[in-house]
Amino acid sequence: MVKKIPIGPFHPILEEPEFFELHVDGERVVDIDITIGWSHRGIELLSEHKTWDQVPFLVERVCGICSASHPYAYVKAVEDLLQIEVPERAQYIRVIVAELERLHSHLLWTGLAGHFLGYNTVFMWAWKYREPLLDILEAVTGNRNHYATWRIGGVRRDLPEEEIPNIREMLDELEKKNDLLTKAIIDDPVIHARTKGVGVLNQTKCREYGALGPTARAGNYNIDARRDHPIDAYRNVEFDVIVCENGDVYDKAVVRQLENFEAIRIIRQCLDAIEAMDGGDILLEIEEVPPGEGLGVYEAPRGEVFHYVRSDGKNMPMRHKIRAPSFNNILTNEYTVPGYSVADAGLITAAVDPCYSCTERVGVVNARSGERKVLNEEDLIRMSREKTERIRRELGIR
Amino acid sequence: MSLGLKALKKSPWVFHVNTGACNNCDIEILDALTPRFDVERFGIVLVGSIRHADVLLISGPVTRNVLPRLKRLYEQAPKPIKVIVIGACGCNCGIFRDGYNIIGPVDKHIPVDAYVPGCPPKPETIIAGVVKVLNTL
């Protein structure tokens, strides 16, 4: 007998509201319906009523965690329209802030994944290591989140020279901590049992659903906009694109952890380049935007962000289209969730990193009798943790 | 002071709702629970159900889709409940004020006790806001 479990649209932990309806047969999920649009704010239309220079402030509020990626893709779209190249120093500053954001986003995800598994230690550790990162972002850009760094033709603030040693020190420290976290995940038999072979998204399915970012790279689908469409200083730095084989939740976690090391590597190269540079312009003044259209692509922590702008020669965009990676990635849940238990469903939906946006209240509806049992987000996390405990006992740990 | 109120002041349980924010405020609320700020040592706990909550933290401008849910949440909350709005969007819709899908700030729809402005407010500010509300009890 198939029952329906609505998950969402609210949840108390994090991120945008989404709504999933799980169709369950006993413990096993057989189908999933996905509804999005709860936090639809009409940003595209709003941006068509703002001047070119005001839009970066708006698009960095598309998503609080991707608040470097969206303005990056937007300014690249306008610069594509203008056919200009920004000053070299500005290019490096952009990459530094963007990669710092990737680090904090991946650490945030690792913490939350630990929280859902019942490893609150991982949650607390990951978020503790994230704090020095936010301090650096505050020192460099003036705010912990929402950096307001991007501007068409360059950046708004120069990187203070006296901060460079602090950034290096923070990176050294973070590299050790990230190593520790990665090893903790790779070595833990309980995490293996909970996440290996769960929510598998193979390469063919990645292509079919258009999965992006770490979700795709975990499934052996080798795409990364930083390498495929190199922009700014990404052309001058060396980094590896991390790709895993299996596409399960475990691989998605490993890809993100290993990407942190690559991000640290990129930031170090950028700092070297800036130190060697001895000053320089950070902004190319733009007088006006001629009619035309431009595309901007950037690899956000969750995948490829795409912005399109069209200008009719006025001081505002005539059309501004935004495509965020989570839109593609959320849909992959349709394939990955069915076949697994309800306790796994939360973990799988979290693994694509829209996080667990939706588990504020869950009602189990008995389709035949209309009888309704209400579960909340606590119950779901409890179910997930009970499964971890069960596996721990079976493995004879603790 | 009644016994219930005393208990509330001793250990306020907070529930948080995102009514269409960019989720930065939500991250900063969670951040207040993690080791650097660690409000749990003062008995402030983030709970998973509105029915356990003493304090409601709301972030974000209210979107058309979310409004019925927000009103239902407020009705389900045990009274007295203190409502604190976190972030510029919740206080006055911020940068999204002119959006077609935005129907006013939070205080237009439910009673609000305190506003914590900022985009996003730092965790220190959020903690200060909660403490100020508790001091009025």
Name the residue ranges covered by the structural domains of chain B. 3-135
Percent of chain A clearing pLDDT 70 (strictly above)? 88
B50 pLDDT higher than 90: no
Does the distance separating the beta carbons of B69 and A9 come in below 8 Å? yes
Higher pLDDT, A275 or A374: A275
Mutate to test the interface with B, among A35, A36, A39 (most CBs of B within 10 A): A39
In this complex, the residue of A45, A49, A378 whose CB is nearest that of residue B48 is: A378
Q: Where are the beta strands (DSSP E) in chain A?
A: 2-7, 19-25, 28-35, 150-151, 154-155, 292-300, 303-311, 319-323, 361-365, 372-376
Contacts 24+ apart (CB under 8 A), A220-228: A220/A244, A220/A245, A220/A246, A220/A247, A223/A304, A224/A299, A225/A297, A225/A298, A225/A299, A225/A304, A226/A298, A226/A299
- Write down the mean pLDDT value for chain B: 86
- Write down the mean pLDDT value for chain A: 83
A367 pLDDT higher than 80: no
In this complex, the residue of B23, B34, B48 whose CB is nearest that of residue A377 is: B48
Q: Which CATH number is associated with domain B3-135?
A: 3.40.50.12280
Q: Distance (Å) from the C-alpha of residue A279 to the closest C-alpha of chain B?
A: 31
Tell me the count of A-B CB pairs closer than 8 A.
127
B98 pLDDT higher than 80: yes
Q: What pLDDT score was predicted for residue A362?
A: 35
Does the distance separating the beta carbons of B23 and A17 come in below 8 Å? no
Q: What pLDDT score was predicted for residue A358?
A: 28
Q: What pLDDT score was predicted for residue A175?
A: 93
Q: What pLDDT score was predicted for residue A190?
A: 85
CB A18 within 8 A of CB A1: no
Q: What are phi and psi of A313, to 5 degrees?
A: 90, -5
| pLDDT tens per residue, range A322-334 | 888 887 887 888 8
Residue range A161-174: average pLDDT? Answer: 92
A225 touches chain B (CB under 8 A): no
Higher pLDDT, B95 or B48: B95
Which of A173-182, A366-375, B18-27, B110-119 is the least confident region? A366-375
Q: How far apart are CA A149 and CA A99, in angstroms?
A: 13
A123 touches chain B (CB under 8 A): yes
A369 band by pLDDT with thresholds 50, 70 and 90: very low
Residue range A370-376: average pLDDT? Answer: 48
Q: Write the CA distances from A130 to A124, A134, A142, integer angstroms.
A: 10, 7, 17
Residues within 8 A of B (CB atoms), A 40-59 only? 40-43, 45-46, 49, 57-58
| pLDDT tens per residue, range A201-228 | 888 888 888 888 898 999 888 899 999 9
| pLDDT tens per residue, range A269-309 | 999 999 998 878 888 888 888 999 999 999 988 888 889 99
Query: A5 by DSSP, 3-state: which?
Result: strand
Residue range A123-132: average pLDDT? Answer: 90
Pick the CATH number of A43-323 from 2.40.50.140, 1.10.600.10, 1.10.645.10, 3.20.10.10: 1.10.645.10
| pLDDT tens per residue, range B52-89 | 888 888 988 888 888 888 888 899 888 888 899 999 98
Q: Which part of chain A has CATH 1.10.645.10?
A: 43-323
- Burial code of A228-254, b = ≥16 C-beta within 10 A, e = fewer? eeebbbbeebebeebbbebbbbbbbbb
Q: Where are the beta strands (DSSP E) in chain B?
A: 13-18, 45-46, 55-59, 82-86, 114-116
Other CB atoms within 10 A of residue A331 CB: 15
Tokens of A373: 């049992």
Minimum Cα–Cα distance from B15: chain A residue? A12
Does the distance separating the beta carbons of B28 and A144 come in below 8 Å? yes
Tokens of B38: 């660690």
Does the distance separating the beta carbons of A127 and B31 come in below 8 Å? yes
Does the distance separating the beta carbons of B35 and A127 come in below 8 Å? yes
Identify all chain B residues contacting A67, using CB atoms and an 8 Å cutoff.
22, 24
Mutate to test the interface with A, among B13, B14, B17, B18 (most CBs of A within 10 A): B18
| pLDDT tens per residue, range A11-24 | 544 455 666 777 87
In this complex, the residue of B16, B20, B24 whose CB is nearest that of residue A12 is: B16
The single-letter code of the amino acid at A398 is: R
- Burial class for A132, CB neighbours closer than 10 Å (0-12, 13-18, 19+): middle
Mutate to test the interface with A, among B14, B17, B27 (most CBs of A within 10 A): B27
A377 touches chain B (CB under 8 A): yes
